[in-house]
Amino acid sequence: MKRILSVLLSVLVGLTLVSPLPVLAANSDLFTDRDFDASFDERSSVVITLNGTSAACDSDAVEISGSIVTIADEGTYILTGSLENGTVIVRADDKAKVQLVLHGASITSADSAALFLESADKVFLTLADGTDNALANGGTFAKDEYNIDGALFAKCDLTLNGEGSLSVQSPAGHGIVCKDDLKITGGQYDITAALHGIDANDSVRAAGGSLTVLSGKDGIHVENNDDETLGYIYVSGGSFTLIAQGDGFHAGSTVQIEGGSFDITAGGGYENAPAHTGNGFGGFGGRGGFGHGMNRGPQTQQTPPSAPDGDAQGTAPDAPPEQPGGFSDFDAPAAPASSADSTASTKGIKAGTDMGISGGTFTLDTADDAFHAGGSITVAGGAFTVATGDDAFHADDTLTVTDGTIDIASSYEGLEALHIIVSGGEISLAATDDGLNAAGGRDESGIAGPQAGDTFGRRGFGGWQSGASDGTILLSGGKLYIEASGDGIDSNGSLEITGGEITVCGPTMGDTATLDYDTAGTITGGTFIGTGGSSMAQSFSDASQGVVAVRAGNQAAGTEIILLDGNGNVLLSHTPALPFSVVILSSPDLTSGQSCTLQIGGQSEQVTAQ
């Protein structure tokens, strides 16, 4: 366990970390060979035949009392048939390893768990190839000493594997509950739950399988209130389609993702986000953006079931009341989490401490942050398509991007952290406020008032300055395209560009700027093309390569910008998607004092690089 935690906690990043995260093999300490082994021998296994209101079995290890089936010993047990109102219980020695094979089994309990794993060292729940299986609660949970609140409730380690399918229905509670470690290596799962789809204490580890979750709270929730080093999520493979009123993934500690496919809708999606206020840039404020959408094609939006009354993260105020008993009203529409439900967390993937992503395909549509960490985030690979009502990536400490393809179609702010480091990858983002914001967890920057002077050179344009902080932005590589209604790049501290290809397209209205920094803005490498408004404009405070910064008057969107050297060779060219009145250009091919020709639309002017 110590090795596992040390590897997971290695996702913690500092200002100097630019290398990919360590990759754990699927057969490492996180998994055993048996976790992946879904085989079983029917001749040596115990067969339990479910017969409506009772069951039949010829093994002394199985006790049957009406519709209650209790398994007491280690071994492999094959369950087949239907149990209409009963429970299958595993009550074995705490060193026993039990394999339960669902072979066309359907179990429903009116007021408890359909499958209750009370005691064992570990249970392997295997879905037999080609079979459909079901576990369901009938709509209520009777109070008992175990506080059972899931259709599948495990007090021991649980592994889900196999090639069959499992439907889990829980109209009054969680879908699957595991009080220890839950591993998923195979199988297809369709989980519908009023509360969390999956709720675990110590960890959820996935290396395979396909999950579809419709939940009134979080899709997958892992948290250990007694041990802060536990409560983590690790994913190296599998497919996850989550539609949650709360968070898609929620980990009390770390999240580490190295592969897999993720399609997550949280809180009704970005269109359901509350309006942002207090930024003071006129018609560009709040939500709306540039008409960007997810472009995911026609979708049938399912509505998660409501959480029972009294759960702050569940039912929205106008959701219908809980319907007791049966499933007849389970699929009735319920209002998703909304701006009125301010207590609900509606993030896509959330880590209480640190998050590391080195692979996978992500399509996230979230009311709140798409990726959120209470510590740091490292992105070292993966393909991302994001629409969010708040930040696309938010880290309370450091956000590092070294690789990956990130398309942020809609956001309030694209990347936000106290420290932002981009050394690789391709990032394209649209934001209704700042594109990049080094603000240490703050959503909005303060305004300190006007500065003296209004010169337009390497030392800036004058104008407004936001309140200083220890924030830093370091851009050293990769490709970055920013289309922002607020500041393109906003550092409540310092900005440093040493490499990469950076394009910033900002607005001309309100108190916004292409660049906004408090202490220093330097460029020593890379290509920078920036356009935007002039009322708060800043250029770089220092540079080791040439910088061209001009006021361009009021130019329409789609006006081409071309910078030519003295021989007529094109140094830089760009056609901004938004209107602009300021142009800032820098390239390693430019030197201070160099004479160039700047063409904006049909006009040309001789300029000297600063």
Each residue's pLDDT tens digit, 567-596: 999 999 999 999 999 999 999 999 999 999
Mean pLDDT of 458-480: 67
**Element (H or E) spanning 7, and its range?**
helix 2-8
The yes-or-no verdict on residue 91 having pLDDT over 50 is yes
The yes-or-no verdict on residue 291 having pLDDT over 70 is no
Give the confidence band of 277 by pLDDT, cuts at 50, 70, 90: low
State the Cα–Cα distance between residues 271 and 217, nearest whole angstrom.
18
Structure tokens at 463: 């104008």
Domain ranges of the chain: 2-272, 357-554+580-588
The yes-or-no verdict on residue 205 having pLDDT over 60 is yes
With pLDDT > 70 as the criterion, what percentage of the chain qualifies? 79
Q: Maximum distance among all alpha carbons in the chain?
A: 95
State the Cα–Cα distance between residues 366 and 270, nearest whole angstrom.
5
pLDDT at 214: 98
pTM, two decimals, is 0.84
Mean pLDDT of 33-38: 96
Contact by Cβ (8 Å): 399, 421: yes
Mean pLDDT of 550-579: 93
Q: Which of 143-147, 277-281, 520-524 has the lowest mean pLDDT?
A: 277-281
Mean pLDDT of 205-228: 96
The yes-or-no verdict on residue 88 having pLDDT over 80 is yes
pLDDT at 290: 22
Each residue's pLDDT tens digit, 45-56: 999 999 999 999
The yes-or-no verdict on residue 507 having pLDDT over 70 is yes
Closest CA to 436 of 392, 377, 501: 392
The yes-or-no verdict on residue 414 having pLDDT over 70 is yes
pLDDT at 283: 25
The yes-or-no verdict on residue 318 having pLDDT over 90 is no
pLDDT at 440: 57
3-state SS record for 177-218: EECCEEEECCCEEEEEECCCCEEECCEEEEEEEEEEEEECCC
The yes-or-no verdict on residue 123 having pLDDT over 70 is yes
Using DSSP's 3-state secondary structure scheme, residue 282 falls into helix
Mean pLDDT of 99-111: 98
Mean pLDDT of the chain: 83
State the Cα–Cα distance between residues 413 and 471, nearest whole angstrom.
16
